[in-house]
Amino acid sequence: MRPYSFWFIVGSQSLYGPEVLETVAQRAQEMADQLSRDLPYPLLYKVTAKSNQEIADVVKQANYDDDCAGVITWCHTFSPSKMWINGLAALQKPYCHLATQYNQEIPDQEIDMDFMNLNQAAHGDREHGFIAARLRMPRKIIAGYWRDQTVRDRLGSWMKAAVGAAVSRSMKVMRFGDNMREVAVTEGDKVETQTKLGWQVNTWAVGDLVKTMAAVTDAEIDALMETYKASYDIATDDIQAIRYQAREELAIKKMMDAEGCLAFSNTFQDLYGMEQLPGLATQHLMAQGYGYGGEGDWKVAAMTAILKAMGEGGNGCSLFMEDYTYNLTPGAEYSLGAHMLEVCPCCAAGRPRIETHHLGIGMNEKDPARLVFEGKAGDAVVASLIDMGGRMRLICQDIHCVKPILPMPNLPVARVMWQAEPSLTTGVECWIAAGGAHHTVLSYDVTAQQLRDWARIMDIEFVHINKDTTPESLERELFLSDLAWKLK
Ligand code: MN
């Protein structure tokens, strides 16, 4: 990833004289330095903005700097907002308004009119908020004392969402083969998606992958086999099947790296010239941070890579997932998620095993090697991006992953089990009403709040199914939202 940073732009005006402005600048520098120690990305103090020109200039620089992942504004003093209009109207980076104050307490004895003039964020931040509201600017607003842990946590969380936006805007997806025949939800308007989200989604021939696979050397495979052995238990005698997956992994990685792609998709319906559907290969690529979507699902592939990047510094655990089957026993209602092969081992509760099994779906000449494991317990979300025709909708649901309640010894794939909010059945009703896909990104790192922030930055619809959601409230929300997005 790039060395992302955020720019701190502090509002003021020339009215107060150089002494006040010097104090504002010193404090802004101190705040940026101290916050940077605690935040996931550095906060760089850039300017005490006192004029239209200064603001327009710093915004131009921020737009131009690929390492700048967003701007954070705050008004230490009053800062008349007409001088912000030209700059804000040109701003192309994620925008957070930190409504804070340098001092925590009102100093009872010392407070006088000088103090009031210097410390009037309560005044200045309202003027600043008005102009952003008037300009209809998508923005995050965080209010509170800047030294408070809650404020810092919220700022850090938003920074990660903003980095997700930067990663999205440079996303390249490599497609091998088309979407699975006749499937609707994995389709989408790639032109609209590139316009809104920045993704470059293009196709490469499976034949070129097969050629690249043929050029992989035994030495390269030997080295990757050592990595496999260090990370996983080998629970098969069919070493050739594992070596074949290593060959596939190396070839896919070479092709993606040559094109700067962070995600890929393939389909079991187009494996011409390949002996096995990539299983272990795809799983190990995902473990390295690449996104993936099965059955040609390029949307979930890119979203997986974006959530992996957003969760950077957490436990790295965001993965391609698919709702498979339910346990509907009253009191033990769970969803079982898995995929044909391709579940990322970042969520493994224990050490994964490499196994080979027959795969009836697709054109596999040989039994594909795959990692088999149980997913870990923990609070998480599942997220699905769908194309509503004219706009994208991101649906997110809160879930609680558990240790699978059954051993399922004959299930030859990795599995994750969870309880969904507000309950399995109501959750399913809501998910289906919203049009959510069977493919999702499951994340133990990225929160619903971060996905909401990301959707706001990308200007797409966001739907959150949580403990308070009812089918009735959701139906109304979707109806109104549909009208609003058509008018937009
Ligand atoms: Mn699938």
Ligand 1 centroid–CA 270 distance in Å is: 14
Over residues 229-250, the pLDDT tens digits come to 999 999 999 999 999 999 999 9
Ligand 1 centroid–CA 339 distance in Å is: 6
Q: pLDDT tier at 38 (50, 70, 90 boundaries)?
A: very high
Cβ(258)–Cβ(348) below 8 Å = no
Ligand 1 centroid–CA 44 distance in Å is: 43
Full-model pTM? 0.97
Ligand 1 centroid–CA 324 distance in Å is: 9
Ligand 1 centroid–CA 446 distance in Å is: 22
User: What is the distance between the alpha carbons of residues 248 and 345, in angstroms, rounded to a whole number?
Assistant: 18
From residue 66, alpha-carbon distances to 170, 236, 438 in Å are: 10, 47, 35
Share of the chain above pLDDT 90, in %: 96
Ligand 1 centroid–CA 412 distance in Å is: 15
Q: pLDDT tier at 363 (50, 70, 90 boundaries)?
A: low
Give the pLDDT mean for 108-125. Answer: 94
Ligand 1 centroid–CA 187 distance in Å is: 13
DSSP string, 73-111: EEESS---GGGGHHHHHH--S-EEEEE--S-SS--TTT-
pLDDT of residue 362: 72
Ligand 1 centroid–CA 441 distance in Å is: 12
> What is the bridge-based pairing of β-strands 140-143 and 95-99?
parallel
Ligand 1 centroid–CA 375 distance in Å is: 18
Over residues 376-385, the pLDDT tens digits come to 999 999 999 9
* Number of other residues whose CB lies within 10 A of the CB of residue 400: 14
Ligand 1 centroid–CA 439 distance in Å is: 6
Ligand 1 centroid–CA 481 distance in Å is: 28
Over residues 69-87, the pLDDT tens digits come to 999 999 999 999 999 999 9
Q: pLDDT tier at 366 (50, 70, 90 boundaries)?
A: confident
Over residues 392-413, the pLDDT tens digits come to 999 999 999 999 999 999 999 9
Ligand 1 centroid–CA 96 distance in Å is: 37
Among the listed residues 70, 49, 52, 67, the one whose alpha carbon sits nearest the alpha carbon of residue 142 = 70
Ligand 1 centroid–CA 295 distance in Å is: 6
- Tokens 């921020």 sit on residue: 62
Does residue 436 surpass a pLDDT of 90? yes
User: What is the distance between the alpha carbons of residues 49 and 449, in angstroms, rounded to a whole number?
Assistant: 30
Q: Is 362 left (phi over 0), alpha (psi -120 to 50) or beta?
A: left
Ligand 1 centroid–CA 352 distance in Å is: 21
Over residues 218-232, the pLDDT tens digits come to 999 999 999 999 999
Give the pLDDT mean for 134-150. Answer: 98
Ligand 1 centroid–CA 291 distance in Å is: 14
Cβ(110)–Cβ(49) below 8 Å = no
Ligand 1 centroid–CA 180 distance in Å is: 9
Ligand 1 centroid–CA 184 distance in Å is: 12
pLDDT of residue 278: 96
pLDDT of residue 272: 92
User: What is the distance between the alpha carbons of residues 344 and 221, in angstroms, rounded to a whole number?
Assistant: 20
Mean pLDDT of the chain: 96
pLDDT of residue 316: 66
Does residue 36 surpass a pLDDT of 90? yes
Does residue 203 surpass a pLDDT of 70? yes
Share of the chain above pLDDT 70, in %: 99
pLDDT of residue 1: 81
